[in-house]
Amino acid sequence: MLSQAGDNGSSTLTYQTQNNVQTEEYRISFFRPTTQRALVNRNLTIKLFILWAVAIFGFQVLLKVFEKPVQEDALVRFTPAWNNVLSGQAGEQDYQAAGQSMVQAMGKSTLSSAQFEALQDGVGWMLSNVLSDGELTDLQREVQAVNSRREQITTLHDSEYVAAKQVVIARAAPALGIGTGTLLAQLLSVGLSNNMAGISEENKQKIPEIMQLFMTHNRSFLTDTVVLGFPFHYFYTAVLLLIFFIVLCWYYCYRIDRLHARLNFLERTD
């Protein structure tokens, strides 16, 4: 009976205790298995745990090790142009480059309201530098028409509102060197504030910070390699890791079932 029971270990201990063996043997420790089943289970668990941990956290460490801050093209164009604007040495191209970059930043959906308003001020300021006084007055009137119409409408398809936006695009987009049929022109038509006369000192400070914040990204070959359409790191984390978790779980169950079959180990049913 001892040798039979020895296969699944735990019942060995039960048998021994019924025969007044030292009670010290009634001890369970994951790291000190006393039976063959416990030993196999421990080893399997440790292996799977290591695989699990490396797959999840090891990959994030890799991402961190290889990452480099990379600026978007818009930021690369913005920085020298903005410096020239601040130093008073800017030409029309600088105003346009800075303006285009800020309009692009206004398309970032995670901007806060305060950040969006700062960029609005910045774009308005650039326009005020490239338009004549008369054109600027006209543009301000047209922008006011768009913004006040927006307050009244119940649908964005409102024909007057759509037409008013087109008027703004026709004047503001070429001034900043933006094509009228582009996404940036669309953003410009809804992103201007009524007041384009100037910019606060606070916003002058804020704008480069906002641009830096939203247009610098941690990239590496792990993020730039494309797999099945995905950036690789995204595919790995969002798709592959989940498949791996299921495989790990399936493998554990399969191995434990096989182990139990090999040891003739029957689990209780209540």
Partner 1 sequence: MKKLYLFLLTFFPLTVLAASDVTQLEGSFKVGPAIILIFILTLFVLVGIIFRAKDTTDYYAAGRSISRVGSGMAIASNWMSAASFLGMAALMYGSGYHGLSYVVGWTGGYVLLLILMAGQIRRYGKYTAADFIGDRYYSQSLRAIGAVIAIIISIAYAVGQFGGIGLMFKWILGINYPMAVIIGGSVVLAYTLISGMLGVTKNMQIQYVIIISSFMIPMFILTAKFDYFWLLPQIGYGAAVQDVVDGVMISEKSGLFNSLGHHFAIVPSPEYAMPWAPSTGQTMFHWVAIAFSLMIGTAGLPHVIQRFYVVPKASDARWSVVWGLFFICLLYWSAPVYSVFGIILSSNPEVGQLAKDAIVVYTAQLGDVNPLIVGLLAAGGVSAAFSTTSGLLVAGASAFAHDLYVKVINPEAKPKTQINIARLSTILMAVIIAAIAMLDLALIAQLVAIAFSMAGCTIFPLFLLGIWWSGSNRAGAKAGLIAGSLVTLISLTYLIAARYEWVLPYNDFITFYLGAWYFAWIGAPLAIITNIVVSKLTKETPIEIRKFLIEKVHS
Least distance CB 216 / partner 1 (angstroms): 6
Cα dihedral 218→220→223→224 (10° resolution): 120
Please identify which residue in 90, 143, 145, 187 interacts with partner 1, judged by CB under 8 A. Answer: 187
252 contacts partner 1 (rule: CB under 8 A): yes
Is residue 161 exposed (0-12), middle (13-18) or buried (19+ Cβ within 10 Å)?
A: middle
Q: How many residues appear in the chain?
A: 270
87 contacts partner 1 (rule: CB under 8 A): no
Instruction: Give the pair of three-digit tokens for residue 127.
Output: 């326009």
- How far is Cα 27 from Cα 34, in angstroms, rounded to an integer? 9
Looking at 131-182, list the stretches that DSSP marks H as alpha helix, in order from N- to C-terminal side: 133-152, 159-175
Please identify which residue in 4, 45, 137, 200 interacts with partner 1, judged by CB under 8 A. Answer: 45
Q: Which stretch binds partner 1 (CB under 8 A): 49-57, 91-99, 128-136, 170-178?
A: 49-57
245 contacts partner 1 (rule: CB under 8 A): yes
Site for partner 1 in 163-182 (CB under 8 A): 181-182
18 contacts partner 1 (rule: CB under 8 A): no
CA angle 9, 11, 13 (to 5 degrees): 80
Site for partner 1 in 94-113 (CB under 8 A): 104-110, 113
Number of Cβ within 10 Å of residue 56's Cβ equals: 13
Q: Which stretch binds partner 1 (CB under 8 A): 13-21, 80-88, 121-129, 197-205?
A: 13-21
259 contacts partner 1 (rule: CB under 8 A): no
Pairing of strands 230-231, 226-227: antiparallel
184 contacts partner 1 (rule: CB under 8 A): yes
Q: Which stretch binds partner 1 (CB under 8 A): 81-89, 136-144, 154-162, 167-175?
A: 154-162
For partner 1, the closer of residues 217 and 262 by Cβ is 217
114 contacts partner 1 (rule: CB under 8 A): no
Please identify which residue in 40, 76, 167, 190 interacts with partner 1, judged by CB under 8 A. Answer: 190
4 contacts partner 1 (rule: CB under 8 A): no
For partner 1, the closer of residues 36 and 84 by Cβ is 36
Which residue, 223, 247, 246, is CA-closest to 235?
A: 223
Distances (CA, A) of 86 to 94, 97, 147: 11, 14, 29
- How far is Cα 181 from Cα 160, in angstroms, rounded to an integer? 19
- How far is Cα 1 from Cα 178, in angstroms, rounded to an integer? 88
